Structure 1
Amino acid sequence: MRAIAVAVVAALALPIAAVGAAEPAPLLAFGARIAGDDARTRLVIEFDRKPEFSIHYVANPPRVIVDLPETSFGLKPESLEPRGLFDAIRYGGMGAGASRLVLSAKGPTEVTHAEVKSEEDGKGFRLVLDAARIDQARFDELLGEQRWTGTVRAVKTDRPVIAPVKKPGAFVIAVDAGHGGIDTGAIGSLTKTEEKHVTLAFAKELVATLNRQSGIEAFLTRDQDQFLSLPQRVQIARQRSANLFISIHADTLKQKDIRGATVYTISDKASDNLAADLAARENLSDEIAGVPLESEPAEVADILIDLTRRETQAFSVNLARSVVSSFEGQIKLINNPHRHAGFRVLQAPDVPSILLEIGFMSNKDDEKQLLDPEWRKKVSELLAVAVQRYRQTAVANGG
């Protein structure tokens, strides 16, 4: 068997630092280059300090995963333009203390050599990865040999509740800023702003607006630029016993003339092709980050859970209608603004959930509004009205 020179991820296994100790500064990746062909490819990344790393493989499609300690990527986008064996390269944070590089390969690929070298001038280190094309049998062997679940060891998969325990009688709302960390989301057509920053800015404004309402406790599933898997987002909402889950997005479309807000609820069958395509893209969030998709729990077989899902779905539809009603005549909506599809992030069986596209980064007029703090404030206030209206109806009906 070919040996792989892979450094042990010692930094990720260190004991927790003493209380009050300063957190180590993130590594800085300040340069990169890639060269090669469809048989062999070399990737070099330059760091300010010596990086510890580990390498793993994911199938369907084949990907090479390089896990790193927390890293700030100060790279020019063109320095890691995919070529050779790789047709997509993504990098970014995976949560506190960890970052990741995901190399999507055109076919079965193996890292045949990996090492960290110090620069000749002593001012930094280079991570050198040599990859080669292999057959499917060898790739299957690599997958079988590794003991890896897709998580980063520095990040707890059972993420703790990140907000105080719910006050008695409070109406709790989880506001989920879509994307984050390695998953940048859509890119603005004018400013090249990443969707993950747009959704977080809006989510923060919405939480602040909701928390000014009597009896409401709103919180963020993520409050910084970090990656959360789709199941984690749902789990956080359920940990807080959320009464509502609102996931914020600002996608792109090929049809750049389409603009306006859209509200989505979950359904086994998509309402239209636009909804189906959007759900398919959003459901790839975990795959983009190199997280193997887990099989869904067999809850549907349980008649009680199935009934809960039906009731929750009805409440979700009522929330969506309330949002559309609040937006009408106040902000731009697309045609048929309430649509539905199989969004994985909306699958909590007991939490009414909507996915709100506040606009499209592919439309220049929408993009300008999405970056306008005053517009975000206006939309947040309209959403708060919709939530209060929904809340009154839900309480009246025992929801």
Structure 2
Amino acid sequence: MPDWPRKSAMQQGFALIFAVLALCWAVPAALAQADGAADVPAVAAPEQADAPPPEVAGLRILNNDERARLIVDLNAVTEFAIAALNGPDRIVVDMRAEGLAAPIDETPAGDGLIGVYALAKAEAGRVRATLTLSAPAQVQQAYLVAPVDDQPARLIVDLIPDSPARFAERVSEDYKAALARQAAADAATAAAEAATAAAQPAPSPVTITSGTPRPLIVIDPGHGGIDGGAEAFNGIREKDVVFDFALELQRLLVAMNRFDVSMTRDADTFVKLEDRVTLARANKADLFISIHADKFEDTAIRGTSLYMRDEKATHELDRILAERENRADLIAGFVPPDSDERVTSILVGLMQRETRRKSFQAAQAVLQSLESHTRLRKIPLHRADFYVLQAPEIPALLIELGFLSNEADVANLTRKDWRDETADAIAAGIAAYFDGIDQN
């Protein structure tokens, strides 16, 4: 299940997400120790009196020179805190949880921001993940994901490069003490508001924000896990190509410092089509971007194209592509989403004209940005009945980066410079789309 905030998890999911994003460096003063000091005491996170500490089910690292991700699987969401320490430079993540049966000793993380990682018990009911850095890094975002179906709860911590000076500032006693004071003040305010809300009869749904609300963009890397998607003549798989591309697009959008950006999957995992849509709707996404790279029998077809959802496909090829994508759940043994006439008619009835208009505006902005950077299909904007584009209230696009059945497209998709330039153009187009909304 994707590792991103869910606005519907009001008490222990959504509220924690925004609190931690704002306070991910806010830890007790005990964490601020001099270089070479003894083990750092665990964070004194709030206790849940009636519940034992959750159990850590697994830990993994995604790592390169531009970004790194810590993923901790848990059997329930939990409290956590993060701090930067030096001697050596490292990021520590303390969790209220019980550790694995055996601790993870210092393990090489490969080439990237994280050099070595470890997981160990800090004290009763506390575990610590230690990320020893190869280069200065900062927390880009950190959040919890509630368990859904057979997928565990997860703690996600994303790192991006930082300057040595800024990393040193984050380590300083004064910096952390100031954040800790702010954290205590914010926690007290949140507790008071929660108590007031609990006393209200039949409360209305509450939208929790952190500062000025920012548009939420959901990036959906197609396929994943057992569903590899299309495969090129040289063995390149669609699920891998689109995931790498989606990570770069996410990085570029986050760097703009004006959007909240989430992904429907954080690794090579299978996510049902219905879950991708449900999660985007539960989080009230402002734009949904699904990334694909399909293949077709006609190997001459090539170029980047965009799709909006419509029951009537622009061409027969578009209809076939949509039907193929909509059967993705079958590959993993799931029943495909219901698409009979009754459900379809309801969806069409709910689809607002404004959402269609915004989807078209987004498509135009992205295409205008792309046209000077990469080859587009002769008719670059198409319509087809893709299930993942069905949310009636969320502007949504599906981007076909190219065709894995075409040698020239495969050559582009396997070139980092092409992927980076194309992702940059898409990010610029998305920004232009939101600029247009702001002006209106």
**What TM-score do you get using the length of structure 1 for normalisation?**
0.58
Question: 1:166–1:382: structure 2 CA closer, same or farther, 3 Å change rule?
Answer: farther
Aligned counterparts of 1:163 and 1:312: Cα–Cα separation in 2: 33
Question: 1:294–1:284: structure 2 CA closer, same or farther, 3 Å change rule?
Answer: closer
8 Å CA contact 1:260, 1:359 repeated in 2 = yes
Q: Does 1:375 align with 2:418?
A: yes
8 Å CA contact 2:273, 2:337 repeated in 1 = no
Other-structure match for 2:358: 315
Aligned counterparts of 1:223 and 1:310: Cα–Cα separation in 2: 32
Aligned match of 1:335 in 378, 381, 386? 378
Q: Does 1:237 align with 2:272?
A: no
8 Å CA contact 2:229, 2:294 repeated in 1 = yes
Post-superposition CA distance 1:154-187 (Å, at most 9, x none): 337xx89979976432111000000001111000
Question: 1:240–1:24: structure 2 CA closer, same or farther, 3 Å change rule?
Answer: closer
Question: What amino acid is the match of 2:338?
Answer: S
Stretch deviating more after TM superposition (320-329 or 162-171): 162-171
Aligned counterparts of 1:230 and 1:292: Cα–Cα separation in 2: 10
More helix by share: 2
Question: 1:153–1:350: structure 2 CA closer, same or farther, 3 Å change rule?
Answer: closer
Aligned counterparts of 1:17 and 1:290: Cα–Cα separation in 2: 35
Question: 1:294–1:361: structure 2 CA closer, same or farther, 3 Å change rule?
Answer: closer
Aligned counterparts of 2:399 and 2:230: Cα–Cα separation in 1: 15
Q: Does 1:180 align with 2:224?
A: yes
Post-superposition CA distance 1:71-102 (Å, at most 9, x none): xxxxxxxxxxxxxxxxxxxxxxxxxxxxxxxx
Question: What amino acid is the match of 2:223?
Answer: H
Q: Does 1:154 align with 2:150?
A: yes
Aligned match of 1:214 in 232, 257, 261? 257
8 Å CA contact 1:238, 1:351 repeated in 2 = yes
Other-structure match for 1:262: 305
8 Å CA contact 1:169, 1:215 repeated in 2 = no
Stretch deviating more after TM superposition (277-286 or 307-316): 307-316
Q: How far has the Cα of 1:395 moved from its partner? A: 2.8
Aligned match of 2:329 in 286, 301, 305? 286
Q: Does 1:170 align with 2:205?
A: no
Q: Does 1:195 align with 2:191?
A: no
8 Å CA contact 1:186, 1:195 repeated in 2 = yes
Post-superposition CA distance 1:84-126 (Å, at most 9, x none): xxxxxxxxxxxxxxxxxxxxxxxxxxxxxxxxxxxxxxxxxxx
Matched positions, count: 252
Q: Does 1:390 align with 2:433?
A: yes
Aligned counterparts of 2:249 and 2:360: Cα–Cα separation in 1: 20
Q: How far has the Cα of 1:396 moved from its partner? A: 3.2
Question: 1:308–1:394: structure 2 CA closer, same or farther, 3 Å change rule?
Answer: farther
Other-structure match for 2:74: none
Other-structure match for 1:111: none
8 Å CA contact 1:161, 1:240 repeated in 2 = no
Q: How far has the Cα of 1:330 moved from its partner? A: 1.6
Aligned to 2:352, the other structure's residue is in SS state helix
Aligned match of 1:23 in 36, 43, 58? 58
User: Structure 2 stretches of 5 or more lacking a match?
Assistant: 1-50, 61-147, 159-207
Q: How far has the Cα of 1:214 moved from its partner? A: 3.1
8 Å CA contact 1:175, 1:247 repeated in 2 = yes
Aligned counterparts of 2:277 and 2:324: Cα–Cα separation in 1: 18
Aligned to 1:227, the other structure's residue is in SS state coil
Aligned to 1:291, the other structure's residue is in SS state coil
Q: How far has the Cα of 1:299 moved from its partner? A: 7.2
Post-superposition CA distance 1:305-325 (Å, at most 9, x none): 836532211111111111111
Q: Does 1:344 align with 2:387?
A: yes
Question: 1:163–1:233: structure 2 CA closer, same or farther, 3 Å change rule?
Answer: farther
Q: How far has the Cα of 1:239 moved from its partner? A: 2.5
8 Å CA contact 1:299, 1:306 repeated in 2 = no
Other-structure match for 1:363: 406
Q: Does 1:225 align with 2:268?
A: yes
CA RMSD of aligned residues (A): 3.0
Aligned counterparts of 2:349 and 2:413: Cα–Cα separation in 1: 37
User: Structure 1 stretches of 5 or more lacking a match?
Assistant: 1-15, 26-151
Aligned to 1:381, the other structure's residue is in SS state helix
Aligned to 2:58, the other structure's residue is in SS state coil
8 Å CA contact 1:173, 1:217 repeated in 2 = yes
Aligned to 1:211, the other structure's residue is in SS state helix
Other-structure match for 1:36: none
Aligned to 1:23, the other structure's residue is in SS state strand
Question: 1:322–1:19: structure 2 CA closer, same or farther, 3 Å change rule?
Answer: same
Residue identity over aligned pairs, in percent, reads 35
Post-superposition CA distance 1:311-350 (Å, at most 9, x none): 2111111111111111113200011000001000100111
Aligned counterparts of 2:373 and 2:56: Cα–Cα separation in 1: 50
Question: 1:18–1:354: structure 2 CA closer, same or farther, 3 Å change rule?
Answer: same
Question: 1:265–1:21: structure 2 CA closer, same or farther, 3 Å change rule?
Answer: closer
Question: 1:306–1:326: structure 2 CA closer, same or farther, 3 Å change rule?
Answer: same
Post-superposition CA distance 1:293-314 (Å, at most 9, x none): 34359677779x8365322111
Question: 1:153–1:329: structure 2 CA closer, same or farther, 3 Å change rule?
Answer: closer
